[in-house]
Amino acid sequence: MRVIVVGAGVVGTMHAWHAVQRGHEVVHLEREAEARGASVRNFGLVWVGGRAGGAELDTALRARELWEEIGAAVPGLGFRGNGSLTLVTNEAELAVARAAAEGPEAARRGFELLGTAEVRALEPALRGTFLGALRCGRDAAVEPRTAQRVLKAELLTSGRYTFLGGREVREVVGERAVRDDRGDVHHGDAVVLCTGAWLGGLVKELAPELPVRRVRLQMMQTGPLGERLASSVADADSFRYYPAYGGAALDAMAAAQAQPPVAAEHRMQLLMVQRADGGLTIGDTHEYETPFAFDVDEAPYRHLAAVAESFLGRPLPAVRRRWAGVYAQCLESGRVVHREQVREGVWLVTGPGGRGMTCSPAIAETTANELGW
């Protein structure tokens, strides 16, 4: 087959990967020279533990398997099965962690409850104040700023992959073909539109009632920490945002302790991941109401830095970068992604939300299976 993939973020790139791995030819179109959206502006987390039970967890676990396989074939991805620690600081937070570690899906999610000494033995860089942590051994990470580039380089070695950057697709032409902004028409046996947070223009014409919203977030990256922090780290506010932790213990925590005003206003949680160069990627915030601000707000950064420093027991290295990003999130309950046939032979795949980096290999595999690639 000849497959046309539009969009070179992680979802589009994984669709190209599966097509090439199954012996097909791929023409990959991207409106920028290379991906610049949420796929490179994230933590690089393969975040399994907090996913909703059922299809979402199944997808995340399958994606975790695929990431490990792809990471072995493409070492430049920087894949590591590093696990995560959600640190807790009081009894109410500890009760949520304990409920998760004792829950019916704990083994499947790789959950275990660690005390303070066990956390410090696992991660000596965490010398701050906490009671313990919920560890998720299934969680992993890759390097988001370079992942698409190294995957593209590997795809090019197949001889069946053509990347065309700086080509914005403007029109679906008949069946299984698109026209780009240079007037070139690209024909295939299937067209897959993986346009991320770009929901206007052609996407709006093809799917005017798309059940997807855009979400904005802020993040930052420091210089090298100077020591190893292998595990990804979260604070207990993350319990509030991931469906796996819902229940009586979380309700009691929410009733007992309100988030600090800045955290509540920006719907914040701490996520912290050490990069290959030793720096720390730290975030994040959530903004849902459009139009989004055009600038970044300093108060959330101060809050995140303070929480991170309380766990590390030392000042953060100097911040080198701050940025904002926007991703697309499916609004339909129970769906990991919105997948829709919008024309004969043309499918739109969008809206994985904050699950995009985690789930993209399995999302693309499902598309390939459903389309009979």
Q: Are residues 230 and 269 in the same domain?
A: yes
Q: Are residues 126 and 224 in the same domain?
A: yes
Q: Which domain holds residue 26?
A: 1-78+142-210+332-373
Confidence of residue 298 (pLDDT cuts 50, 70, 90): very high
Q: Count of domains in the chain?
A: 2
Q: Are residues 127 and 146 in the same domain?
A: no
Q: Are residues 100 and 156 in the same domain?
A: no
Q: Are residues 99 and 163 in the same domain?
A: no
Are 316 and 308 spatial neighbours (Cβ–Cβ below 8 Å)?
yes
Q: Are residues 297 and 203 in the same domain?
A: no
pTM of the entire predicted model:
0.96
Q: What is the mean pLDDT of residues 73-87?
A: 97
Are 2 and 178 spatial neighbours (Cβ–Cβ below 8 Å)?
no
CATH number, domain of 160, equals 3.50.50.60
Q: Are residues 319 and 304 in the same domain?
A: yes
Q: pLDDT at position 333, please?
A: 85
Based on the number of CB atoms within 10 Å of its own CB, is 123 exposed (0-12), middle (13-18) or buried (19 or more)?
A: buried
CATH number, domain of 300, equals 3.30.9.10
Are 79 and 67 spatial neighbours (Cβ–Cβ below 8 Å)?
yes
Q: Are residues 105 and 190 in the same domain?
A: no
C-alpha gyration radius of the chain: 21
Q: Are residues 72 and 168 in the same domain?
A: yes
pLDDT in tens, 38-69: 999 999 999 999 999 999 999 999 999 999 99
Confidence of residue 79 (pLDDT cuts 50, 70, 90): very high
Does the pLDDT at position 5 exceed 90? yes
Q: Are residues 360 and 250 in the same domain?
A: no
Q: Are residues 237 and 353 in the same domain?
A: no
Q: Are residues 90 and 175 in the same domain?
A: no
Q: pLDDT at position 334, please?
A: 84
197: left (phi over 0), alpha (psi -120 to 50) or beta: alpha
Q: Are strands 177-180 and 280-283 parallel, antiparallel or unpaired?
A: unpaired
176: left (phi over 0), alpha (psi -120 to 50) or beta: left
